[in-house]
Amino acid sequence: MTTTDELSAEEHHVGDATDLDVGDHLLVEVNDIEIAVYCTKDGYFALANYCVHQGGPLCEGPVTGSLTNDGDGSLCYDDENQVVRCPWHNWEFDVETGEHLSRPQYNQPTYEVRERDGELYVRW
């Protein structure tokens, strides 16, 4: 979620906001933890690059939408650029919330992202 609050000592600069269009992501390392910063239509979001399933490199997986149904029995494709798929087992996580799409008890660690003067900071 983007804010323009003052930076604190716990914030780590990770990149330039103009480098990320909607659907793009940036893989960085903060305090020896691999984190990916995603850009969606709602702003910037960060997830740990370590799948809660079996430790796979989640954020090396593609960012896509997902097949679902519209409630009236028809299939539809939704959440474009909102879903990251683990390249090991195809576990799907919402990049904004870290929540698994079908097993909500599984959540990826998320980190707050702040934008200030066009630069991105992960809040630790």
Partner 1 sequence: MSAQSVNRFQEIERVVDLDFHLVEEESALVPYLEEPFEEMMTRPGVGEGNNYNETKFLLDGIDGDMGPDVAASPDDVKTVMSELNIDRVTLNPGLNLNLVTVTNDRYAVALASAYNEWVTETMLDSSQDMYGTIRLCPRDPARAVEEIERWADADEVVGAMLGPPGFRSPLGNPRFDPVYEALEEAGLPLLLHNSVLSLQHVFPGQFDGFNTFMEARAFGHPSGQMMHLTRLLVNGIPERFPDLDIVMMESGLGWIPYMTRRLDYYYSSRREDAPWLTQPPSEYISRNFYFTTQPIEGTDDPSYVQQIIEWIGPDSLMFASDYPHSDFDFTDALYRALRDGFDQDAIDAIYGGNASDVLAY
Contact track, partner 1, 23-62, x by CB under 8 A: -------------------------------xxx------
User: What is the footprint of partner 1 within residues 59-98 (CB under 8 A)?
Assistant: 85, 87-90
Beta bridge partners of 84: 63, 93
105 counts as binding partner 1 under rule CB under 8 A: yes
Q: How many binding residues for partner 1 (CB under 8 A)?
A: 10
- Least separation in angstroms between residue 89's CB and partner 1 is 6
CA 77 vs CA 83, 115, 116: distances in Å: 12, 30, 34
User: Please, what is the Cα angle at 106 between 53 and 86, to 5 degrees?
Assistant: 45
CA distance 124 to 4: 16
Residues forming the site for partner 1 (CB under 8 A)? 54-56, 85, 87-90, 105-106
